[in-house]
Amino acid sequence: MRWYLKIISPVLLLVAWEIAAIAVNNEFILPRVGSVFVVLLQPTKDILGSGSLLDNAIISLTRVVSGFLLGIVVAIPIGIGMGRVRWINDMVDPVIELIRPIPPIAWIPLALAWFKIGLASILFIIFIGSFFPVLLNTIDGVRRVNRTWIETAYMYGAKELQLLVKVIIPAAAPTIWTGIRVGFGIAWMSVVAAEMLPGTTSGLGYLIMYSYNFGQVQVIIAGMIVIGIIGLGIDIFLKEVERRKFRWQGLER
Amino acid sequence: MQLTIDNLTKEFTTDAGEHIVALSDINLEIRDSEFICLLGPSGCGKTTLLRIIGGLDQPSSGQVILDNQVITRPNPRMAMIFQEYSLYPWRNVLDNTAFGLELNGMSREERYAVAKRYLDLVGLTEFSQSFPYELSGGMRQRVAVVRALAVEPAVLLMDEPFGALDAQTRNKLQHDLVDIWEKTKKTILFVTHSVDEAVFLADRIVVLSPRPGRICENIPIEQPRPRDRTSVEFAQVRRHVLDLISLK
Ligand SMILES: Nc1ncnc2c1ncn2[C@@H]1O[C@H](COP(=O)(O)OP(=O)(O)O)[C@@H](O)[C@H]1O
Ligand SMILES: [Mg+2]
């Protein structure tokens, strides 16, 4: 798509917002565009004693990355096992199918009961959010590895571990990566939701909830914009890695 | 090297419960350095036979014996070249060529040196850093052949390796294969459904009949090489093979 077509809708949104803000004429409901940009343009300025936008963004990012890595480290080996070995799949699949439809946020009360308010609960929620997409894509990727690739390795005398490292994992990597992208998106949503819990004292989710209590709607919107931009930025980054690393995708013959 | 196929049969039960006899009573002696073409129409069991010889599938009865050893699984002395998906798309040409050596635990330097030597042999040195999707089908199959040669097998098993190529490329690769065979004196078992290809390549054509797949002809091709497809002699041999097949 041409770039000037791409900017039409964001510009329209800003214009509509500004018109609506003027019409509403109440900064506690809808602040003017300018006042939100004032907040955005001072990312290192402390907000109501709860840290700056940047500080809180870094905290949220650190949490999401930690919980997400945890999710990947658990999901990928289980996924490979389930994708490769029939009995592992048959044994584990029913539990997975049962737990999978429960949204990450529904785990919050249980997380609080188990881990109390704090980092562990938040990491747990992120873990749950990222685990399933990565798991399901890993299973799928491993199952769909071309049979000829596997047999070629056997013909050259591959042992099971060599087959795994040199064929199964590289062949399934693009599909696993898709799971990682989807999983990260969910993890990012989960961290913001988890940070809005009572008792949390930092993070972007906390910042916007806290700002609500002080009627700082411009900070709420600024925080939401930062959440959106970070989520988008990471997805663009993951897509770019995919484009470079898995260039062969769709061209295998 | 001595490869013996002894009273081999293979039966399948399809998902629908139908019973198929894919191969029946196959007996074959393959001598060292022989170039054999397995010829037959699609569905007659050529792939099945080659896979059993390669140890990828098990026979229903009978056995494959390589130098007194019964084959029940892939053996490093035999290499298989498939028609499709023969290379790993995430590996460049050099790493594809060195794949077998890498599995054997050869150091990077050593295996690259060997792989380069073989790539040289087929004129692909300048493509060693290219990826399979950047190559033509003919080049990919060439790489698959030298990857097999690099592990120095006694037997090359080839399942319609040039079947997906255009006629011109196909002829070129057939020439190259004969060259390689003359240089290395590998034993080659080459599956094809093309009479022309078989007559061009083989020392001996083994003809399989369809359903159940049986060996119905064993035709030695004594024509000297290099063979000229446009020559009268070539046409006569091809005619002879076609006559033998059409009598079935
Ligand atoms: N795994 C299988 N299960 C059931 N039937 C099979 C299987 N593999 C091959 N066959 C059948 O065996 C016959 C021979 O197949 P194949 O060896 O692929 O023939 P060709 O390579 O000569 O075309 C065919 O009828 C095919 O449908
Ligand atoms: Mg076949």
Structure tokens at B118: 């073989």
Q: For A124-167, write each residue's pLDDT tens digit.
A: 999 999 999 999 999 999 999 999 999 999 999 999 999 999 99
**CB B40 less than 6 A from any atom of ligand 1:** yes
Q: Does A161 touch chain B (CB under 8 A)?
A: no
Give the total number of structural domains in chain A.
1
Q: For A73-120, write each residue's pLDDT tens digit.
A: 999 999 999 999 999 999 999 999 999 999 988 998 999 999 988 899
Structure tokens at B60: 């229903």
In a domain? residue A101: yes
Indicate which ligand has the atom closest to the C-alpha of B13. 1
CATH number at residue A231: 1.10.3720.10
Q: For A186-235, write each residue's pLDDT tens digit.
A: 999 999 988 988 888 899 999 999 999 999 999 999 999 999 999 999 99
Q: At what angle are helices A217-245 and A53-84 packed, to 10 degrees?
A: 40
Distance CA A48, CA B33 (A): 85
The residue of chain B nearest to residue A163, with distances taken between CA atoms, is B103
Distance CA B217, CA B36 (A): 13
Distance CA B100, CA B89 (A): 15
Check B74 against A154: CB less than 8 A apart: yes
Q: How far is the CA of A230 from the centre of ligand 2 (A)?
A: 52
Distance CA A206, CA B171 (A): 70
DSSP per-residue string spanning A109-133 = HHHHHHH-SSHHHHHHHHHHHHHHH
Quote the ipTM score.
0.93
Distance CA B52, CA B159 (A): 12
AA letter at A147: R
Structure tokens at A183: 């999983």
> Ligand 1, atom 6: nearest CA belongs to which residue?
B12
Q: Could you tell me where the DSSP H helices lie in chain B?
A: 46-54, 93-97, 99-103, 108-121, 137-150, 167-184, 195-201, 232-246
In a domain? residue A165: yes
pLDDT of residue B247: 60
Q: How far is the CA of B8 from the centre of ligand 1 (A)?
A: 15
Question: In this structure, what is the dihedral angle of CA atoms B129, B132, B136, B137, given to the nearest 10 degrees?
Answer: 140
Q: Which chain A residues are closer than 8 Å to B151 by Cβ? A: 156
Mean pLDDT score of chain A, rounded to an integer? 93
Point out the residues of chain B with pLDDT beneath 70: 247-248
pLDDT of residue B158: 97
Distance CA B17, CA B180 (A): 45
Distance CA A85, CA B200 (A): 45
pLDDT of residue B210: 85
In a domain? residue A86: yes
For chain A, count helices (H), then strands (E). 12, 0
Window 44-73 of A: residues touching B by CB (8 A cutoff) are none
Nearest chain A Cα distance for residue B244, angstroms:
34
CB nearest A157 (choices: B88, B90, B104): B104
Check A149 against B88: CB less than 8 A apart: yes
**CB B12 less than 6 A from any atom of ligand 1:** yes
Check A152 against B104: CB less than 8 A apart: no
Check B56 against A154: CB less than 8 A apart: yes
Domain residue limits at A163: 52-246
Distance CA A248, CA B135 (A): 12
Window 188-227 of A: residues touching B by CB (8 A cutoff) are none
In a domain? residue A82: yes
Check A148 against B54: CB less than 8 A apart: no
**CB B56 less than 6 A from any atom of ligand 1:** no
Q: For A157-183, write each residue's pLDDT tens digit.
A: 999 999 999 999 999 999 999 999 999
The mean per-residue pLDDT over the stretch A7-33 comes to 92
In a domain? residue A58: yes
In a domain? residue A207: yes
Structure tokens at A170: 């590289």
**CB B47 less than 6 A from any atom of ligand 1:** yes
In a domain? residue A40: no
Check B79 against A156: CB less than 8 A apart: yes
Closest CA to B238 of A46, B53, B229: B229
CB nearest B84 (choices: A148, A162, A170): A148
Question: In this structure, what is the dihedral angle of CA atoms B84, B87, B89, B93, given to the nearest 10 degrees?
Answer: -140
What 8-state DSSP symbol labels residue B126? Answer: G
Distance CA A169, CA A147 (A): 14
Please give the number of the atom of ligand 1 that sits closest to the Cα of B51. 17
> Ligand 1, atom 8: nearest CA belongs to which residue?
B48
Closest CA to A30 of A42, A18, A38, A40: A18
pTM, entire model: 0.90
